[in-house]
Amino acid sequence: MKKILFILSILSLTVVTNSCESDITSLNEDPKHPTVVPSGLLVASAQQELISQLLTPNVNNNIARFFTQQWAQTTYIDESNYDMVTRPIPRNHYNRMMASSSAIVHSPGVLSALRDAKQSLENEGLDATKKNNNMAIIELINVYAWANLVDTYGDIPYFGALQAVPGNPGVSEIPYDDAKTIYLDLLKRIDAASAMININQAGYTEDLFYNGNMAKWKKMANSLKFRLAVTLSDVEPAIAKTNAEAAYNAGLFDSKEDSWGLSAFPSGLFANPVYQEAIQSGRNDFIPSDVIVDYMNSTADPRRDRWFTKIEGVYKGGIYGSNNSFLGYSHMTSPKVTNGNPDVGEDGGYMLITENAQGYLLDYTEIMFLRAEAAARGYSVGGSASALYAQAITASMTEYGIASTNATAFIAANPFNASNWKQSIGFQAWVAMFNKGFQAWNFARRLDYPVFVNPDDSTVDGVPVRMKYSDQEYLLNKNNVTAAAQKIGGDQVTTKVFWDVY
């Protein structure tokens, strides 16, 4: 993996350099030695950009942990009060996911890199089975990224986006497509990609997440389909049930080892982005919030010992949306040393923020909570809602090294409430998705628990349930983005995405 990451760093540098050159540089191109980036490296580039963007707590790029009020800030509190204008967060997220529409620049963005990978793959002379496996990998990452954009913004440019070909850079005025129509198309794309997979032959060796293990990619396809299906439950219940049950029967993640992402980040350039921002940066900007710490205190949650330090013998979260003294509240566990004393969890483990800490974008714990939700909705997914609720909590406890006896005691003290299953699953999924911002946001929006309070100094009318469109779209694609904003009911953070109907 280190060799791949070194090549990716050179590729990224090349992109930055090329983007600053004018068209006259084409006169210096050597037609006998054209620049062609192998599709496998472009796929790895897309994976690196995707996991970096979705996991980072960098306030310029991703404040999902504030949408779910799990983190609080210390010195600078604009972002926890939902100021997304001073730092153009909607623009930055959109661009890092979508990126360049040019077909002749190998973009570092997720979707444009995958577009380029698909073009390169066509010319690599692979046998049909190998090519299909690689195309399935490209497609499944594509679907994940597109779904994230829909979940974030609602209607987006989709069918007409990133369609440029060499010699035709495409157009900047691209219509926005209906979000539900996109979701239904993504389900079809998952089925098509899954059908391509031959588990008896490997896919890309450059694959950062599974190293080309197509049996794992098959489970990922089913699990991604399951996530999208459950997300549709309130708006398209029949379609949701059919697809969720089909995905379950085809085989979902059945252990943490199946999870999609990185079980451990490599050291150096590609360290865990939470570590890079919260520890390596040398800043003291983030602490756990009182919203989540107070709730976990009320349930005597044993995960506190793995996630937080104590302050004066207790777990104490910073006041959400307010200035907080870094030294006055619990910290998230890390290997940081202050005055010779390591800032660690109660058991001495560095479970949450380390250079090599895990980072998953779709994991076994999430799938188990989705199964519990699906069962509560009446879907046939291999167990009762109560049993799956217990298994989901156990999966989260196991993920962070909590003993099974402690998990069992916690579940007994916090049993499933069938009469208000959304509350039971909503709160426990929110806790389990701690430090997994976008995943936690989706659960909270769909299940309507927890209920978040807009901070007194908030810059918007309510806790965000979507991000506003990129400000650049109003410059480059004004007519289409304006029409899209009108269609969805206004380009506001309080305008719900199509599947968030309650």
| Residue 360, beta-bridge partner list | 261
Other CB atoms within a 10 A radius of the CB of residue 291 amount to: 22
Residue 34 above 80 pLDDT?
A: no
Checking if the pLDDT of 106 tops 80, the result is no
For residue 269, what pLDDT band results from cuts at 50, 70 and 90?
confident
pLDDT at 32 over 50: no
Which has the higher per-residue pLDDT, 20 or 253? 253
Residue of 276, 298, 495 whose CA lies nearest to 413:
298
Mean pLDDT along residues 232-244 = 98
State how far the Cα of 391 lies from the Cα of 256, in Å rounded to an integer: 13
C-alpha 284/C-alpha 302 separation (Å) is 25
Question: If you average pLDDT over residues 352-381, what whole number do you get?
Answer: 96
Which tokens belong to 421? 């299953």
pLDDT, the chain, mean:
90
What does residue 288 show for φ and ψ, rounded to 5 degrees? -65, 145
CB 124 within 8 A of CB 341: no
Gap between the Cα atoms of 304 and 494, Å rounded: 32
Neighbours of 20 (CB within 10 A): 7
Per-residue confidence (pLDDT) for residue 209, from 0 to 100:
98
φ/ψ of residue 155, rounded to 5: -60, 135
Q: Which residue has the tokens 């495409």?
A: 170
pLDDT tens, position by position, 393-451: 999 999 999 999 999 999 999 999 999 999 999 999 999 999 999 999 999 999 999 99
pLDDT computed for residue 188 by the predictor? 98
Cβ–Cβ contacts within 10 Å for residue 420, how many? Answer: 11
> How far is the C-alpha of 482 from the C-alpha of 349, rounded, in Å?
50
pLDDT at 18: 37
For the chain, the domains span 2-8+37-75+85-212, 268-342
CATH code of the region 2-8+37-75+85-212: 1.25.40
**Which residue(s) pair with 241 in the sheet?**
none
CA distance 243 to 248: 9
CA distances from residue 483 to 157, 318, 327 in whole angstroms, order as listed: 12, 41, 48
Quick one: pLDDT at residue 236?
98
The string of pLDDT tens digits covering residues 285-337 is 999 999 999 999 999 999 999 999 999 999 999 999 999 999 999 999 876 65
List C-alpha distances in Å: 15 to 18, 115, 276, 287, 352.
Answer: 5, 15, 23, 35, 33
CA–CA distance, 90 with 68 (Å, rounded to integer):
17
Residues 380, 245 contacting (CB under 8 angstroms): yes
Tokens (6 digits) for 69: 């009020």
Q: Is the dihedral of CA 108, 110, 115, 119 positive or negative?
A: positive
C-alpha neighbours within 13 Å on the C-beta side of residue 53: 25
* pLDDT confidence of residue 99: 74
Three-class secondary structure assignment of 26-90: HHHCCCCCCCCCCHHHHHHHHHHHHHHHHHCCCCCCCCHHHHCCCEEECCCCCHHHCCCCCCCHH
35-49, 252-266, 321-335, 340-354: the lowest-pLDDT one = 340-354
Q: Which residues contact 391 (CB under 8 A, 6 or more apart)?
A: 368, 371, 372, 383
SS3 state of residue 239: helix
Q: What is the mean pLDDT of residues 146-163?
A: 95
Determine which helix (DSSP H) or strand (DSSP E) holds 262, and give its type and residue range: strand 260-262
pLDDT at 335: 65
CA distances from 223 to 140, 250, 260, 359 (A): 11, 9, 10, 17
The pLDDT tens digits of the residues spanning 107-140 come to 568 999 999 999 999 999 999 999 999 999 999 9
The CA–CA distances, whole Å, from 365 to 55, 346, 369, 394 equal: 17, 23, 6, 9
pLDDT at 347: 61
> Where is average pLDDT lowest: 376-380, 399-403, 484-488?
399-403
